[in-house]
Amino acid sequence: MKQVLCFALCGALIGLIACAADDQADVRPLKAASSKKKTTGDDDDAAPVPTTALTSVVAAPVVPIDAGPSATTYIGTLDETPTVRFGGSPYCFYDVRLKKVRIEIAALPSGEIIGASVTDTMVENSVPPCTYGASPPAECSFAFTTSTQTADGYQLDFKGAATNYPQTKLVVTLKKAGSSYEASANWHRTDQSPPLDWTETTKIT
């Protein structure tokens, strides 16, 4: 009887020790703070990384550049320029004039010219007794290329459109006239040599 009881007690004690060992093996200690920087994997317990440092750089406000005072546009028109005669032996004589002339310039309050354009219609007639016809009317346009300051204003150089006929070089001299400008425009035909070239000069306010 004593021997049986001893076996029973010993068996219970061994079972308790085994259970304790199993329970202890399944216990996971809490994560401890570490001074080592984690280089791989995710750390669920790590403090969230603030994103303001990145967004403050990427989304930095853009400060617009102050363009200064706005420009003023001046427009001068002329119904028709004086008639200019060109040609002669061994060719016919012809008359040419420019109609519907329009000069437009943009100037800053300082007087600096920052843009300009010119349009006109070339009209040509043959002079009797010439039996050759004149060129048909042609719409021409000119784009501003450079501006050079002069003693009393500006000289503006223009480039004619490729479709212009005839091809001409245009230079406009501007002079301040009160609250406006006086423009002296000079067209010179460049696609013909003398005596078939011509020069037209006129003033427009």
CA–chain centroid gap for 177, Å, is: 33
> Taking the domains of the chain in order of start, what are their residue ranges?
72-204
Region 1-12: mean pLDDT is 42
For position 16, what pLDDT does the model report? 36
- Give the pLDDT band of residue 191 (cuts 50, 70, 90): very high
pTM of the shown model: 0.65
> Distance between CA 157 and CA 16 in Å, rounded?
108
3-state secondary structure 58-75: HCCCCCCCCCCCCCEEEE
Asked whether the beta carbons of 69 and 108 are under 8 A apart, the reply is yes
What does pLDDT average to over the chain? 76
Domain 72-204 has CATH 2.40.128: yes
Phi, psi torsion values for 2, nearest 5 degrees: -60, -40
- The proportion of the chain whose per-residue pLDDT surpasses 70, expressed as a percent, equals 66
**pLDDT higher than threshold 90 for residue 196:** yes
pLDDT digits (tens, 9 = 90+) for 156-190: 999 999 999 999 999 999 999 888 899 999 999 99
pLDDT digits (tens, 9 = 90+) for 65-91: 333 468 999 999 999 999 999 999 999
For position 52, what pLDDT does the model report? 30
- Give the pLDDT band of residue 6 (cuts 50, 70, 90): very low
Instruction: Tell me which of 148 and 14 has the higher pLDDT.
Output: 148
